Structure 1
Amino acid sequence: MLSYEVRQRPEFDGRPVDDPELMVRYQREYQPTMIETIEAALDRAGLELSDLALLLPHNVNQASWRMICRQLGHPVERVLLENVPAVGHSFAADAFVNLRTATTGGALRPGDHYLIAAAGIGATFAAMVLQH
């Protein structure tokens, strides 16, 4: 592990889906907060997005990751999204499911840098840069 960053947004603690106004705010803040977290993890690791062989996301949905990639200027082809429709969101297991897919499928080789990113209940955003 080369770096780990976390951003917590306590104003979204609980279940935003139960409060329509809070849900709209969460959806508006989701991408910028995820991008900030990813960029901070890369900075701490001393790497750029272009140094990554792969980004392993949480498997919430493909659309949000495509939008994040557009905003970051990162090729979506270097984000492992195949498990989103195949497996779906497995909560805390997403990173491990995606890592297994990446290693067994040959998308990660020894020495490659990769980033795991996730957001969860309580509006906690995390990103970790690793070297395989």
Structure 2
Amino acid sequence: MITLEAVESFFPDRTVTVEERAAELGLNPAQTHMFRRIHGLDRMRHDPDLSLRDLVLPAAKRILKRIDPRSVRYLIYCHALHGGRSVGPRTAQDIKRALGLEKATTFALTQQNCAIALSAIDVAGALLRADGDPEARALVVTGDKPRHRAAQLVMNTCVVGDGSASALVAWNGSGTAVRSFVTRTRGEFSDGMMSSPALIRAESEMRPRLMLEVMSEAADRADCTLDDIQVVIAPNPNTTLWQDTIKDEALRGKFFFENIPRYSHCLASDVLINYATLGEEKRFEPDRPAMFVAIGVGMTFSAMVFTPSSNTGGPRS
């Protein structure tokens, strides 16, 4: 099965409060109050001078220090933003060269927004399984550096911070075992933030039911129930979205929300960032199932059940 051998995250040093970031974005006092008191934001990392390359490389480099880089057969770069002004057609190749992985097959994945990292893990596992080389690895690199206000402030629902993460994927390795993956895309909502008010209402009404269906199916495929899940790791747009999506309080109580006030929403990277935090803080119970979930604007719903191993997490090398 697919295994996660290492996950690392990275943030720039500059920390700003939600009030400072709101002032930079020209928000009024009512909007600023909403983000802190209603959506649960507090502070985030934001460095306007940091390049995309400097944002995504450090986490990947930490992983490569642990292994023989020649074992990396695939490099998959995941990003949420679309269009040449955000991520160019050669960005994945530029990342590969910067990491010294010249022999790795490299490509980018996008279009699923917050859910893209989970699909990348699944794709990486499928490629490694097809290769049949037990020593081969795939490196999943995630992160975006939005330069335009519309991508930094998303529909008054989240303020985007700077953060990235990378994951080393193996087939039948010794790390965290991925036990199931379920994903569904509802194409009628593909306009995302540009949808009509009627479609936005329809999406908000459909979202709780479909998210619960996907989570339940992922748990069933992993031969467990949602009651068995020790923690649910989700993206960090805000606390309000998950309160509106997960109606069952007991299930919602399993969600890890502590990074929302710490880092806010880091495009394409939240689920891996949150995994890294829980690992570093040694908060996983080994051999007890946990779950990634994600809702990607567009609309993609994904859930992945995994079982942490005894060596999941720990201090960084």
> TM over 0.5: same fold?
yes
Cα-to-partner distance string for 1:52-89 (whole Å, 9 max, x where unaligned): 1110011122123234443374251x211011122122
Q: Which has the higher helix share?
A: 1
Aligned to 2:276: 100
Aligned to 1:82: 258
Answer whether contact 1:17 1:23 (CA < 8 A) is retained.
no
Scaled by the length of structure 2, the TM-score of the pair is 0.39
Answer whether contact 2:208 2:247 (CA < 8 A) is retained.
no
Aligned partner of 1:33 among 210, 217, 222: 210
Is residue 65 of structure 1 aligned with residue 242 of structure 2? yes
Identity, % of aligned positions:
27
Q: How many Å separate the matches in 2 of 1:67 and 1:86?
A: 21
Cα distance change of structure 1 residues 16 and 75 upon mapping to structure 2, 3 Å threshold: closer
Structure 1 unaligned blocks of 5 or more? none
Aligned to 1:118: 294
Q: Which amino acid aligns with 2:274?
A: N
RMSD, matched Cα: 1.8
Q: How many Å separate the matches in 1 of 2:208 and 2:194?
A: 17
Q: For residue 115 of structure 1, report the CA deviation from its aligned partner.
A: 0.2
Q: Which has the higher contact order (CA 8 A, sep 6+)?
A: 1
Q: How many Å separate the matches in 2 of 1:118 and 1:25?
A: 19
Q: How many Å separate the matches in 1 of 2:250 and 2:290?
A: 16
Answer whether contact 1:4 1:127 (CA < 8 A) is retained.
yes
Aligned to 2:192: 15
Q: Which amino acid aligns with 2:188?
A: E
Q: How many Å separate the matches in 1 of 2:303 and 2:273?
A: 16
Scaled by the length of structure 1, the TM-score of the pair is 0.88
Runs of 4+ in 1 over 4 A off after TM superposition: none
Is residue 131 of structure 1 aligned with residue 307 of structure 2? yes
How many residues matched?
131
Q: Which amino acid aligns with 1:97?
A: I
User: Which has the higher Rg, Structure 1 or Structure 2?
Assistant: 2
Aligned partner of 1:46 among 223, 227, 230: 223
